């Protein structure tokens, strides 16, 4: 279709749409976890037991919540993009492991796996020119 062939001229706009959409989503999801306080962080941090980490659940929970909330903001503006993508992939691997460990199966873990794959791909593509990190 000739009408769709020119869309490749707007790759940077496409990356902006992805960054803004994912950024808003992760801020919306991560901010309440971040505001959950120590008890919320401890509950969240216990998810690391599914990958064999049984110490410092409060710290791991805080780091996961901070990665999603602050990482979402950094995605939104396109700053420290690749380090944020790496942190998001790691956080989402733990999330997928948690769903699988709780017996929710592949269907329960699918959303975390999908997001991890998106961030893994974005790690290679970069933030695009409409970002603070523009190159």
For 72, residues 6+ apart whose C-beta sits below 8 A from its C-beta are 22, 23, 24, 25, 26, 27, 28, 29, 30
**pLDDT tens string 34-83:** 999 999 999 999 999 999 999 999 999 999 999 999 999 999 999 999 99
Residue 2 inside a domain? The answer is no
Residue 59 inside a domain? The answer is yes
Chain centroid to CA 48: how far? 16
Range of the domain at 43: 11-125
Residue 57 inside a domain? The answer is yes
Among the listed residues 44, 38, 31, 58, the one whose alpha carbon sits nearest the alpha carbon of residue 94:
44
User: In this structure, what are the phi and psi dihedrals at residue 67, rounded to the nearest 5 degrees?
Assistant: -60, -45
User: In this structure, what are the phi and psi dihedrals at residue 55, rounded to the nearest 5 degrees?
Assistant: -120, 155
Residue 112 inside a domain? The answer is yes
Q: Tally the domains of the chain.
A: 1
* Residue 135 confidence class, pLDDT cut points 50, 70, 90: low
Residue 26 inside a domain? The answer is yes
Residue 66 inside a domain? The answer is yes
Q: What angle do CA 104, 109, 115 make, to 5 degrees?
A: 165
Residue 78 inside a domain? The answer is yes
Residue 61 inside a domain? The answer is yes
The span from the CA of 54 to the CA of 33, in Å, is 20
The span from the CA of 17 to the CA of 3, in Å, is 20
Considering only 4-8, 67-71, 109-113, which range has the smallest mean pLDDT? 4-8
């Amino acid at each position: 279709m000739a009408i769709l062939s020119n869309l490749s001229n707007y790759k940077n706009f496409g990356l902006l749409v992805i960054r803004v959409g994912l950024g808003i989503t992760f801020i919306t999801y991560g901010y309440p976890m971040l505001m959950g306080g120590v008890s919320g962080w401890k509950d969240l941090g216990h998810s690391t037991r599914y990958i064999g980490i049984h110490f410092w659940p409060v710290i791991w929970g805080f780091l996961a919540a901070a990665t999603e909330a602050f990482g979402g903001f950094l995605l939104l503006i396109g700053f420290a993009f690749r380090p944020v993508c790496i942190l998001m992939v790691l956080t989402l691997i733990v999330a997928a492991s948690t769903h699988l460990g709780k017996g929710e199966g592949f269907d329960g873990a699918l959303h975390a796996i999908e997001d991890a794959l998106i961030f893994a791909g974005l790690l290679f593509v970069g933030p695009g020119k409409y970002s603070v990190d523009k190159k």
